[in-house]
Every structure is written in C-alpha cells, then in structure tokens.
Structure 1
Amino acid sequence: SPKTEYSLTVYAIYSSLTGDSATITVQTAPLPQVSNFRVIEEGLFSLRLGWTPPLRKPNGFKLFIPRTKRPGFSYERLLPGDASSHVIDSLEEDKEYIISIYAVYPQGPSEQVSAMGKTLKLVQVKHFLVQNPTTDTVQARWASVRGATGYRLTWESPDGHIENINLGDTFNYYMIQGLHPGFEYTITINPIFGDSEGPITTAKVKTLESSAVQILKVSAVSTSAAVVSWNSVTGATGYRLAWGPTPEFVGRDRPRQLALNDSTTEYQLKNLAHDIEYVLTLYVLFGSVVGPGISATFRTSPLGYVSNFKVTSYTSTSIDVEWSPIVGATEYKLSWNTGIIKPQSRYLHHSVLFHRIKGLNPQSTYMITICAVYGNSEGPEISLSQLTAAVSDSGPIQAVREVKVVDIGVNSFTLSWKKTPGASSYKISWVPFIGGEEKSHVVSAASTTFTIQNLRESSAYKIQVSLTVGSSEGSPVLVTARTLDLPKVNGFVALNSKDNSIVLNWTRVADVSGYLLTWKHISETLGPSFTSYKISELLNGRTYIFTIRPLYGEVEGPISTVYQRIGKTLLKLYESLFGS
C-alpha cells in the first residue's frame, strides 16, 4: 500500500539450520499529489481554481470544501483525470473559503492539497470623473472594478429625461453626446457582475452655454507677421490655430497649424509671405474633442517702398539724396547710372537716410533708384532723374518744399506743397509702380494743391513735383502713395442648408452697381438691391465654394468666400485647406 511502513526480515538458511535474521523498516512512497493548487480568478459568487496534475495520470480528482469550515454548506465534485481547472459557483459574495483537492488512483487517494480564496465584494466604481464639457458633450472616466463584467452609465437631464448605455468590462472612458447647452446633468455609473449590479456612483456636470470663440482679432499686421487674439472659452483644454492663403493666393505660402494650451489667448504668426491674404481658423479643444471654430481673414503688407525720396542739392560732380525711414527694412540699396556706363550700387544701413553720390560727370542726366531691403528680399524700386550742373553754373534751382499726400481715395490723390518764391509754375507727374504710361500736369505758380484723378484702385504710384523758373526746371521731389481698396462684401454667410439647396446672405455695399456670385463653374450677376440669394439643385453632402464680389461698373471688387457642406453644418475654410 502507498505510504505504509513495512518491516523486512532476512534469514540465512543452511541445509539443516536457520541462521540469525536481519530486519529493516521501510515506507512505500505516497501516491503523487496535485501541485500548484491555487485560485486563479475571483468572482462575486464564484472562484476559479487551477492546478498542475501529477506526472502519473490519476483516475480523477476530488474537489471539495470541508464542512467543518462552512457548517450547513457542502461542496464536492469528482472531476476527470485530465482536468486542470474548475469553477465553483453559487458561493456568497465577500466570503472566505478553503478548498481542498486530491488525486484519485486505483490504489486510493493521494494526500489532499488546500488553497484559500475569497469571493469579491459588490463595490461601487471609484475615481469617477465627468469632465471636459462642451455645449453638447461630456467625457466620463473611471477606474476599472476588479471582477466586473461591464458597466451601466446613465445620464439624466433637469427635465427628467433619462438615457443609459451598457458598456463592456474593458471600458473606462465614454463620451456622452447629444446633450443640451447650459443644462446640468446627473451622471451615474454602477458596475455589473453577471446578473447583479453594484452600487451607484453619482456626479453632476453642466454643459457649456457656448463652446465657440466669440471674438477673434488680427492686429499688428506687417509684411511677415501678425498678432492673433481671442476670448478664452470656459472649460476648454486648449485651442487649435490654423492658417493658410485664401484661394486667390494658393501656392504663395503653405498651410500651417499648431495646438495651444488653454491659458493662451494671443499668438504671433511669423514667417508669413508679404502681400498675401490669409484665412485663419481657431478651434476650441475639449480633451480629444474638437469644438466649433471661428474664422477671420487678413492681408499682410506689401514690401514697403521708400517714401519722400528726393534730391536735396546737386553740383556738377555730385548729387545729394535723402528719404524717409521704412519700418522693417534692414538696408537700403541705392543705384545710379547715366544709361551709358554700368549702374553703380551701394548698400546702406537702415539708419542711414541721406547719401551724397560723388564722382559724377557735369551736365549729365543720372537715373537714381532706391529700394528697401528686407533680409533676402528687395522691395519695389523708386526712381528719379537729375541733371548735374554745368561747371560754370552759379547754382541749381531749389526743390519744392514740404510735398505731401494729404488725401487718398479709391481713385485719387490730393497733393500739397509750400509755395516757392520766384517759381513760374509747378509740374506734377505720376506713373504706376508696376510700370505704365507716365502722365503729368502743370499748374500755376499760385497753386499749392493738386488732385490727381482717374487712378486705378489698390495701386501704388510714384509722384514727382518740380518747379520751373523761366525755361529751367528744378529737381523733382518724389513721393509715393497707394490708392485705397474697393470695399468688399461683408457678412457673407450660408444659411438654411437643405438637402439640395442653400440660402446665401450678405451685407449691402454702398455705391455698387451689382454683385457677381459664383459656385462650381456657374456665375450669377445680381442687382445692387440683393442681400440674399437661394441656390438649388445642389448635391447633398457635397462641399461647395461660394464667392461674391461687388461690381463697380466694369470693375470687380475684392472677393469674399464661404465654404458650405450641403445638408451639414457650416465648414470653415480651414477644413478645405487642412482636412477635418
């Protein structure tokens, strides 16, 4: 028999005699027992047990809970010899149990092995957080409950409307959607253990009245930078700012975006391209949720041209020139030539506003050009011409003093200057910066103002004023100016988007002769009294680009653009440039 003591005696036997005996005591080995017997999973009303079977396969296993430990309760189960785990159910929650097992062989049972296990307690969810509210969503997070097979999440509005959802045991986060703005909601969660539900954990949260930025401003716009500012949004975890060229300027610069923390309400855009219209969109972030956005457009300044460039005096071998400073310039490039010899140039520090050009030839006409340098870029050039004096000349005719542009219109400039004693007349000439026909006009010696008319809108001009004494003309004084832009359409929005139609609204522009409305490859010319227009036969779910320009006779004003997905909510221009 296994694990039994035996006395073994040996006698020496001779032909007719028996010798003395020798005796030893030995014990047979025990039957192989179960090893690594343990509780591998605890449930609310169950325990899962596991073990390593002995190398010698038994006929079976006897699993039981000794009665002495649980009066009135008995559990016995005979399991097959190839079993290595078993679930005991119908237990009580939050109770300790001692479970025993032994292997069964033809020779009898092995020694029993015991393990202790405790069923789980029906507990509530801990660390339940409801956060990042928007106007229609909140985020719920919680710590996983050991042994739970799932969770029930419930939310109730102030008017008593209740909704809930059952979630699996792997969930510890859920976004509740479809809420109403400005409502306080009661959010509850309880763990589920099979057919039983644990205690409820409760939290309250109020959705935002508004989750969008209300004020978005662009200021301090220069040739390569702009400052964007906005009002903070309660509950926001951050902001996403995106900017890029509008459709008219695509290719001149690349779209960009960045994320900002919730304390930021101002940001400086840098490394912008000059003279480009940009659209920027600011989105509010609520955790991983991107809230509504607000858009604005702005245009960077063109590379500045040098103003008040003039000849202050000259001799037979030199010309003195001066000019006004320009913001952002790092240098000035001054060039001169007679049209016969190769042009000569000199780069001057941005603090230098005067230069004497020496070593010139008497009675020679020199073309003198200046431009501002911005790092590696050169701004537009300004040119004037000056005839050096003859060697015998007693002195040059002085230049007109205090030449100013006192009024700028869409199609006109008004100049003023100080009257010069002895002048016979004044000559005013002007030419577009980009080139074209130079025009001039002569006014009497009594005049101190002149209005240049019939200019092109949004255009820069070079203007020169010189005086004449008899048949001689003095050095011209150069000033520069840019006509105003034509007014653009403001308040251009898309409303009432239906399955296949949309209504566009805008604010009336004064003094227009009409509006040019375009979408896809279609254009519609509307009268000046229109402030809205309905477009039908559009494709549901498709995004369209709608543009409008004011018309001033044959001249088209600046463009205004809106992007709209038919049947959906309004899309900002950002989504067209960067994706949603």
Structure 2
Amino acid sequence: MQNMGLIQSPLKSMEKLSLTSVDFGLCPKMKYQSYNFFSFFPVVIAPQNVQLLKTMEDSLTFSWDQVLDADYYLLSYYPIGHEASAVQVQVPKGQLSYEIPGLRPSTKYQITLHYVKKGISSNPEHLQARTVSATWVTEEMENSLEVEWENPPTEPDYFKLRFSSPQGQEKEVAVPKSSDPKSRYIISGLKPGTEYKIIVISVKNETEGKPSVVNGRTGIDSPTNLKTDRVTEDTATISWNRVQAPIDRYMVSYTSTDGDTREIAVGKDQNATTLMGMKPGMEYVIYIWAEKEGLQSKRATTKAETEIDSPTNLVMDQVTEDTATISCNEVQAPIDRYMVSYTSADGDTREIAVGKDQSTTTLTGLKPGLEYIIYIWAEKGGHQSKRTNTKAVTDTDSPINLVTDRVTEDTATISWNRVQAPIDRYMVSYTSADGDTREIAVGKDKSITTLTDLKPGLEYIIYIWAEKGGQQSKRANTKAVTGNGGQDGPRKVTAVQEHTTTNSLYGLLLLRGTCTIREFDSVLCFLFEIEIDPPKNLHVSDVTQSSGVVTWTPPAAQISGYTLTYETPDGTSKEVQLGPNEQRFILEGLGQGVRYTVYVVAFKGDRRSRKAVNTFLTVAFLYPYPADCSQTQQNGNATSGMYTIYLNGDAGTPMQVYCDMTTDGGGWIVFQRRNTGQLDFYKRWRNYVEGFGDFGLDKLHNLTSSTPIQYEIRVDLRTSNDSVYAVYDFFQVASSKDKYRLSVGNYQGTAGDALTYHNGWKFTTWDRDNDVALSNCARSHHGAWWYKNCHLANLNGKYGENKHSEGVNWAPWKGHLFSIPYTEMKIRPQWSSNEPVLGRKKRSQAGKRKTTMA
C-alpha cells in the first residue's frame, strides 16, 4: 500500500457532458455519464447506496435506492473463490431490498446489483459481505487455518474439532476450553488451495452440544525460487517453481523505476516466461502470483535490471595538437554518467566522466602526433553498457621558442625547443628580402642548426616545422639580418674576446647578454630575455560536489600577479585575476560530478609564464546509496517523485519510495496518501504486512526499527478550503512478532493530537484482532489501524463514509462524523544537529519522548 505506501494520484477532473437522445440514439430519461478522457460512449450509472442491512448465519439482506423507470433489478451472488457457482435473481422494480437465503455460515460472498431499462443493463455495483457464525475462520494460510469460536455459557469441559477435505478425509482433535471469552485453534498440515469443512462441538460430562459449522479455504501457495535467468536491453527471462495448489493461471507484474507497470497472464503449467517491451538500463520489480477463481496467492518477488544501451554514432568532430572533440547519440536508458577512456599509442590511458545529458565532449591533455583509441560507455550505479570506440590522431605540435643565436655575414645559427610528438624530421625554410628561398631538412633529434650561404646585409624570414609521414605541424618563425660584408669588415682576426654578463632588471626579468669583440670598428652584442618561470606544485584538494581548493608554489621571479582559469570538458571556462602574494584559491559553484581543468599563469606587465595545469573531478553524489529521502535530497534531487533508497545505505537492499521534497523543507518518505476512494483499504492482515503498493508494515518496520536512524512523522490533512498538520518527533513500528506495535513521540501542529491515544498499540485488521475492544475494531470501523478501544484516528477507514467512526477520521480536528478527503503520512530522520539541512529549520523538541506501552 503506499498506504503503507500506495500513492494514489488524483484523477483528472471528469467533465460531465450534456447529451441528447436525438444526437446519439439514447433512451429518454435514462441516466448517462461520459468523461472527456475516454472514448465517447454512453455509460449507464450503477444503482446507488447499496447497503448491507442484516447478516445472519445463513442469509444476507441488502437494500438500495430506487431507480426511476427501471424495468427490474438483477442481483447475483457467489462465495468468494467459487465464481462458477454464481446465482442470479431477478428482483421486481418496486422492491428495494432483498434477503439472500440458504447461505453458508461464516462465508464471504460477492454480491453484484444491476438494473435493466429497455434491455440496457446499467453498470454493476459490487459489495462483499460475510455471513456470521458462532465459529469463524480468522486466518487462512497456505497450510493452516486458524479457527475461533465463542465459548458457550454452559462451561464445557473441552471441544471436539473435526475438519474434512472435499475428498472425505476427516480428522478430529480435542481442544481445551480457553479462559478467555473465545477459544482458538490452528489446524496445520493442510493442503494449499483446498476448502475444508470444520465442525466445533462443545463437550460437557461426555455430552455433546450443538455442532457449529464453518468452511475455510487454505490459501494458494505462492510460486517459489523466482529468479531472473537472463536480461538484455529490453527483455528479461524469469523462472520459478510451480505451486502445489490447483490454479487457473499465473500472473506476472513488472514495474520500472519510472512507474511504468505491465501485467501478463502465464499458463498454469509453465515455470518460465520472457518479459518483453522493457526499457534499457531500468530496474524492474517483478511479482508473480497464482490465481484460482478470484483468489490470489502471496506474491513472490525479484528484481531485474535491463542492460544499458550503448552510445551510438561516435564521431570525431575536431582534433588539435592536444585536444579531440567527440560526439555521439545519447542512450535511451536513465544513467548517471558517460565514461570516456582514451589510450595513446604509447600506452598512456586516461578516463573522464561526462554529464548524462551531454552528447559531446572535448578530450584535453592529449599528446601531440599520437594515435588514440577512444572508448565511450554509459554507467548507472555499478552497471555499464557495452563500449563504442573510434580512433583519432592528434596534430603534431610546433617547435617553440625559435631564436637566432648568432649571425654572420653569410650564416645564421638558430635553435628551438623540440616537439613532443614522434616525428621523422624538422624542415627549415628561409627567405631573404630579395625573394630567394631555400629549404633544408634537420634531424628529428636536433634543436639547433646553422643556415649557410646567406647573403650579407639582408633580412631573412625563417620558418621551422615538424613532419611525420604526410603530416606537418604548424610553422614557427623568426627573423635574422646578416652582417654587412663591405670594407669595414674584419681584415684579420688577431684576437677574440667574449664577454658574457647576466643582469637582473628590477629583480624580475633575467637578461643575458653576450658581446663578442673582434678587430671591428664596432662591437656586435646579442641580447636575449629568459621567460618567467611558471608556478609549481599545482594541486586541487578538499573537493566536494560544488567546490575545490587550488594551491601552488610561487615562481622564483618577481611578478605582478596570477591568472587562474578553470574550464569544463565542453570548453566553458571562468578566469580569475589574483595578486602576487596569493598561493591559494577556493573554487565554488562547480557542477556535480564534472571533470575540471585548472590553469595558473604568472605575469609581469605583458609577459606571461607557461601554464601550470591540473585536473580534478567534483563529487558526483554525497550519498551513493541514500538511506532515505533526506539523503536523496542532499544528493541534489529537489523534485518530489519516486526514488530508490537503500536500507542502512546498503546497495543490496533497495526500496522504491515516494519522496516529498517540498513540504517543510522536504526529505519525507511518503507511506500513505489518500485523495480518492478508488482503492479499498478494508483489507486483510497479509495485505497490510506485504503492502498493496510500494510499502507494507514489514518495510515500515525495517525502515524505522532496524536502522540507527530515528524518524519523525508528519500527518497532513486537507479539505477543499482548509489544511492542518500534526508532527510527532519520534515514530517507530515494531516487528511482526510484536504485531507491528506503534510508538510515537511528542506532538506539535495544528491538527490536534490523535496518535498519542494509539501509542503502544498493535495493528488490527478485520481478520487479525489485536485491540482491546470487545468487538474487532477493524470490522466495526471499516478500516485497519493501531486500534485501542477503538480510535481517535482512522486514516485507513472507508473513504467518503460519514457514518460515526467508519470514515477517514482525525477526531481532534473534524470529529468522527467527517471523512477527510485528503490525508498523507510521511516520515524523515530526526535532526542530528542544529545545522539547517537544505534550508530546513530544526524544530525544538521539548519534553521527553514517550515510551512504548507494554
């Protein structure tokens, strides 16, 4: 249940349409109703206000409201589980009640009522009712029946209990009289799906009293050993062990995490089937149960996760010396991220995460002139799709820092920093001012060469580039002017003096000058500058989902400041200017689970150092396996809806829950909501234990009692023009051994305190009486709850029922005669500190917590 967890979404408004018999051939004065979201066909509404007037051991009496111009009424009935034995009775139009005679004691019947007008039958109105007996079956299990009866006033010595199967096998046991007003006995060792006749006879002084007879049917045993044998992107094959009971069919239901549910019937002799039409990368909860004439077995469940589909059409959009931009078609599956791995020909491998909504990314930090194999795949939790791959070859990088070291009248010596890429050779081209061009090859391991046969007194433009196969790098260039070869040149070299000086300009730029003095009329001096050294030891630490701390060691040179830049794989970047004394900067407002590249450059005036570079990945999720909706919210999920949480944060214990992320700061697990009357909450014990939605008492116990987290509960109540709430600072549900006993803490709110009355009491349903009232509170108040004697709150009562104490009640607010149209129950962890959690304020918790009543 999201009562105990069935979430009932409100229906769209049903707009009634005005019809005429002329337009559609309808019968005059007949009641019709049509809705704007169905195909346009008239629907004859059902009889109204069908009520049970009296129940006896062998009869049931009903009444209903009169339908004008009805020709007659049709009433049919049969024992639940025996649809083939249905009986139909025609009731005259003037008769507004009917007694069904000849029924079996303590047996539940399905009753259906129609009316007929001019051959057209109305929609049916259904009702279930049980005949009474001094003996009744309180619980029907697969291999046992629990029988209860009232002790007669004659004070018998003991009881004889006989039970027999349809095959005539009969057994008898002696049952001691209980000191309570009722006696009880569990008949065990029975066959599943079998109806038994049970007779209870009181015995006093060897004299037998009048027999009391009741029939009970054991439950259908459930399929066992349900497992998933094989999954693909859109199918899952499951298998199971067949049941022992005779059945009509198996039913299989499978629901994806996004709420899509499908249901199929499987032949009674099958023990395997393949589920089709599933969505890729989606976890499915699979249920299987057996059916026989309207009865269902307990459900067996398993989970299956379809494979994630692979990214397709992976292409290379743009390649540079050290980057490559790739794109692909996105997968259909819901995923956490894409992962990209790229490996160079020399074996260097890197891996980055890419946002789940991105279809393109730029790979950075590649080595020039190398072939890379690039793989991309999708990830969800610990699951990966198949990999798609492509190849790319980065451009060859250019030689850098090309300088002219020495020039004579017919030579020039140049040097450069070698490229990183593997190459075949360097190529040097030099062109004089008069247009003469020459080109030479230089060995791949060299970083200096001398250009010869230059013309004196001319300016040369010099280009250098690297080559690998048919690829060329970009060209670097510089200029040189050869010496004048006239009469003022050296006649004879008689002495050579070299003087090298190293000076510091304001303690910043290191200048190195070399002067060579020959027998010239002048001194030829070359002056060159050494670049600013870059920052060192660039690190990023204390990385969270949205921040990181960048630190570095300053350069040796004196500088004016730093430029810090950080960018995402898609090229989005931000730049920050910092002072010369800064050695630390906090990056904030970062994306969750994003890989960033950070650069720091030192500068003085218009001169820049080389970049110091580092990369880091922000935290994807604060809680990889959130234990509740509060942790799910702290992972960045701000929208209310269905989410997966994990008991105790254990990846092996997933639970589907509805999270309210808005009320009072959000983070609530909603386990009951009622806003329509479509779902009947008058259900048996087993339904509430397992849940007839996403949640049951077992899961509520596991969540609130078997983890170290302590929960508070909030109850929201609304009418069309009013709303109130109640909050209790502690909420816990005990185990099945303790009948799911309720514990609540201190109250505050606007609805009034109704739950404290129920504090410490066990859960009661119509077939499991755990309250202290003389009658079964669930039966008399048409619900299921932690009844005492009986209730101040009855949120699982009959929807829309304004009879005293039978509706959806919260007595301190609207009393027992008003059925509340909207209710919601939800829990979240108590606050563990005074810190606000995502904007929520900690409420004061005055007083001590109430203790559970024994």
Q: TM-score, normalised by structure 2?
A: 0.25
Between structures 1 and 2, the one with greater strand share: 1
Between structures 1 and 2, the one with greater helix share: 2
Q: TM-score, normalised by structure 1?
A: 0.34
